[in-house]
Chain A
């Protein structure tokens, strides 16, 4: 075997540069931001400006240079298609929104200036994660994202809650990605390929889709990592503590961008890897159904008893994970709804990201100094103190609850109708019941804002930052627009 056979030279050319452009923009931004952050004067402002320019360039390059066919680099190590473009754009914009809502907050809470470059690195990881077919590269990009987010979580140095949250997230996340990698290794050993396409072909040619036990174990272990990041039932334990301990803008970033990236990656893996074995093995559908029911019931029942706002949103995100997984059930079940399911998942993710970013921007604005763990009591009288913010928060909460004219309703509607079309009636009924129960989660903060007497001791909540206000306004506008033209967003994929 000669050297050039063992290590063939590979050059990126023509159209491939076009697909790579957003990822390159973001990667260069991340490095430039890291280099500029320690500048003594205006390091923070320079870093933010770099992130702003880079994010806009990354999104613009996907919009300005659309390509019709799928671009494949290095035999599937990077794949750029519609799915990766949509999810990359969501992640970049969510990262930018998180950076915007931390302007002012980061100075008050003395967050390090490397904050912005960590966001940029996490976004690079997410973009790579949603656009790869190679299992090991998937692990590398997942870790690029996770390592940046671990640091972001524990960055709030004055707060012991943040260090505890960072430690928990790091230990559980490290274990989950090691388990995922072991699954990838077993899949490689049984099929002789690390590429998702090669693995699927091997499934088809060796076993005709009906897998023996070893590759099934590999698939199961591999999906653990994905289910951990998305926060499904047995792997949800970290969500409430980590989301409470992290600084509010960081929680906003995790709840939107990290969740969206995990959903996008799970969508790609479901279509390209999981669909074939699940179609041949009805047992796996049962497992997924149990996970969905447990996630929905746990999130809505425990969430209804919480009294701290960030914990409330943490349980709300577990419920939302249940709905998204219902979409995946319709997709993998292969019934009549499978075709609509992937677009339903995409539109649900867009709606979910916008309303959560809006809600967390509001939380940033009303968070008291040094302790941004706001309780329901601190919300009392917000309707009279900050009427606009209270109105915005109410719209986001109603949208999360899925009250008809808002975006959240249509997201749920698309998912439920896809699941019904695929013939999963009873589990859709369970999801509908869970959405009624989880309405309590969202109505309690509204009762506190509007119907309880204002307690004077909490009335001095000073912050009025431009960035967060912009995000609140933009999210409010988008939530209303999405409620008016939801069909456009369901055609994104």
Chain B
């Protein structure tokens, strides 16, 4: 199997792990990390595709995605602080006042 195929499988695996983590875990910090994992899986997939296609275009996009991921985790952590102040916990079991 070529390196590119292995890298694609790895990125799909990481992406699915991120998705699973988001669905299964109850700790919001871990959920935040799962979202970051998904974005990094996408980064890996972009770089692999760019290497396969021999283009610089796809590799440059990774910088945009890293920047957005950093901004997203900053906003996410501040939302978590806000949640901790209101509920005294960041476990999703304890942060519900609304009936869904």
Residue numbers in A under 8 Å from B82 (CB-CB): 154, 157, 163, 166
Interchain CB contact under 8 A, A174 and B46 = no
How many A-B residue pairs lie within 8 Å, measured between CB atoms? Answer: 113
Which residues in window 55-88 of B have CB below 8 A to A? 55-58, 61, 64-65, 68, 71-72, 75-76, 78-80, 82-83, 85-87
With the chains together, A139 CA to B38 CA distance in Å?
Answer: 14
Interchain CB contact under 8 A, A170 and B76 = yes
Residue numbers in A under 8 Å from B72 (CB-CB): 143, 147, 174
Residue numbers in B under 8 Å from A194 (CB-CB): 57-58, 61
Which residues in window 1-60 of B have CB below 8 A to A? 15, 18-19, 22, 28, 31-32, 35, 38-39, 41-42, 45-46, 48-49, 52-53, 55-58
With the chains together, A306 CA to B15 CA distance in Å?
Answer: 37
**Nearest CB in chain B to that of A180: its residue:** B42
- Given A181-B42, A189-B45, A140:B68 Cβ within 8 A: yes
Instruction: Kindly state whether residue A244 has any CB partner on chain B within 8 Å.
Output: yes
Which residues in window 382-396 of A have CB below 8 A to B? none
Instruction: Kindly state whether residue A197 has any CB partner on chain B within 8 Å.
Output: no
CB distance from B25 to the nearest CB of A (A): 11
Which of A139, A150, A188, A241 interacts with B68 by CB under 8 Å? A139
**B82-100 interface code vs A (CB 8 A; 1 in, 0 out):** 1101110000100111101
Which of A140, A165, A182, A192 interacts with B64 by CB under 8 Å? A140
Contact-residue size bin, chain A (C-beta under 8 Å from the other chain): 35 or more
With the chains together, A161 CA to B95 CA distance in Å?
Answer: 9
What residues make up the interface of B, taking CB atoms closer than 8 Å to A?
15, 18-19, 22, 28, 31-32, 35, 38-39, 41-42, 45-46, 48-49, 52-53, 55-58, 61, 64-65, 68, 71-72, 75-76, 78-80, 82-83, 85-87, 92, 95-98, 100
What residues make up the interface of A, taking CB atoms closer than 8 Å to B?
6, 136-137, 139-140, 143, 147, 150-151, 154, 157, 159-161, 163-167, 170-171, 174-175, 178-179, 181-182, 185-186, 188-189, 192, 194, 237, 240-241, 244-245
| A-B contacts, 11 listed (Cβ < 8 Å) | A136-B64, A143-B68, A150-B79, A163-B79, A167-B79, A171-B32, A175-B38, A181-B42, A182-B15, A185-B49, A188-B46
